[in-house]
Amino acid sequence: MRGVTSEYRKVGDLGNNYSGKFTFRQAAIFAVIMGLSACAGGEMPLDAQMGKYGLPHPTPGHYVHCWGNGCLHSVALSLDSEEWQEIRDIFDPQSQNPGEERERMALAIARLEQLTGERAITGRDIGGSFRGYGLKGQQDCIDEMINTTTYLTMMRDDGLIRFHNLDKRLTNGWFEVSGWPHTAGSVKDTQTGEIFVIDSWWLDNGNKPYILPKEQWKTGNWEKSHQSGEWAPETE
């Protein structure tokens, strides 16, 4: 398959070494809780995420894609020059303001999810952690955050992002706001200093991620509107 280099890393299933007895329901609940617990990590610069998970610095010619909850599984992939040109074309002509650039980042991330999903098995990823739980290729918020960071890093390194810097991994839930723990990456508007969260976990693979101000994301109020299909981020 074009663009697939090799299996990069694969961690064995804990269940294979467990001698006790779990019902399927108990095992599923335990696995979901453990996966969501991983999403409760604290703030950390996005540039440090690759090193934390043992991943190389990404380029269009060689990047590592995660899935399976907490980057349990990953595969080394590549894009050819024509495919990367598609991403460059999204930013041509150059954005005239940060709001326009955020919209283009969302479009580029969606397209990269589509291109990557064709190579890996994450093209079938279903938004959230529960509707698609147990399906091969499913991604939790850690996987989504790492993969989004990969895409943003490649865009930044190619000079496509001019009005934003990569900022931090941010966490919501449990110790800050009631509800399940959740994490996502963020960027900083270089003109205003405002932090914007880029959150693709809610959506099926290949859709534009939500990009919204950090303080709005932290409230969690927009999540209820998302779940009812009523919420959409404002664009400039």
- pLDDT, average across residues 197-208: 95
d(CA 8, CA 185): 23
pLDDT digits (tens, 9 = 90+) for 42-65: 677 888 888 888 999 999 999 999
Helix (H, G, I), strand (E, B) or coil at 157: helix
Which one, of 65, 60, 70, 10, lies nearest residue 40 by Cα? 70
Is the bond leading into 58 cis (omega within 30 degrees of zero)?
no
d(CA 112, CA 110): 5
Q: What does 68-133 look like in DSSP terms, one character per residue?
A: SSTT-EEEEE---HHHHHHHHHHT-SPPSSHHHHHHHHHHHHHHHHHHHHHHSSGGG--SSSSTTT
Residue 79 in tokens: 């894009």
Burial of 222 (0-12, 13-18, 19+ CB in 10 A): middle
Name the residue with higher pLDDT: 26 or 119: 119
pTM for the whole structure: 0.79
pLDDT digits (tens, 9 = 90+) for 104-141: 999 999 999 999 999 999 999 998 866 656 678 899 99
Distance from CA of residue 95 to its chain's centroid? Answer: 23
- Using an 8 Å Cβ cutoff, are 60 and 78 in contact? yes
